[in-house]
Structure 1
Amino acid sequence: MARTTQRPVVRLRSTAKTGTTYLTRKNRRNDPDRLVLRKYDPKAGRHVEFREDR
C-alpha cells in the first residue's frame, strides 16, 4: 500500500531562536494552516511555541 501525501512530514522550528527542531506528521485536511505546538526546548530549558517551517 502506497503512502499518500495526506499526512506529510513537517518540521517544527523553535520560536526561541535556538535552532531546535522537531519532526512530526500532520493531516492536511484537518490542519490546512501552519501547525503551532507548544513543546519543550532543551536549549532554552523551557516550553516554547514551535511553528511549522516550510
Structure 2
Amino acid sequence: MARKNEARSTVTLRSSAGTGVTYMTTKNRRNTPDRLVMRKYDPKVRAVVEFREAR
C-alpha cells in the first residue's frame, strides 16, 4: 500500500465572485505556505474568476 504524503494536503478554493462555487485541489504546504490563488471557471457567472484558498 502506498504511503500517505504528509507534505501534501487537500485545500478548498472558493470563488471570489461570491457565488459559493468551490474547487478541491491539493498543494504542498512546505513549498507553498501562502494561500493559493488560481483562475478557474465559475459556471454561475459564466466567466473565469479568481478562486482563493479557504481555511
Shift of 1:29: 1.5
Deviation at 1:4?
Answer: 3.1
Q: Please show how residues 10-49 of structure 1 align to structure 2 within 5 Å.
A: 10-49=11-50
Gap runs ≥5 in structure 2: none
Task: Work out which of the two has the higher radius of gyration on C-alpha atoms and give 1 or 2.
Answer: 2
Supply the AA of the counterpart residue of 1:17: G
State the Cα RMSD in Å. Answer: 0.9
State the alpha-carbon separation in 1 of the partners of residues 32 and 38 from structure 2: 12
Structure 1 runs of 4+ off > 6 angstroms?
A: none
TM-score normalised to structure 1 length: 0.92
CA shift, 1:20, in A, is: 0.1
Identity %: 61
Aligned-pair CA distance for 1:15: 0.1
Distance in 2 between residues matched to 1:32 and 1:5, nearest whole Å: 14
Q: Which residue of 2 aligns with 1:52?
A: 53
Structure 1: gaps (5+ residues): none
TM-score by length of 2: 0.91
- Mapped to 1, the partners of 2:49 and 2:5 lie a distance apart of 31
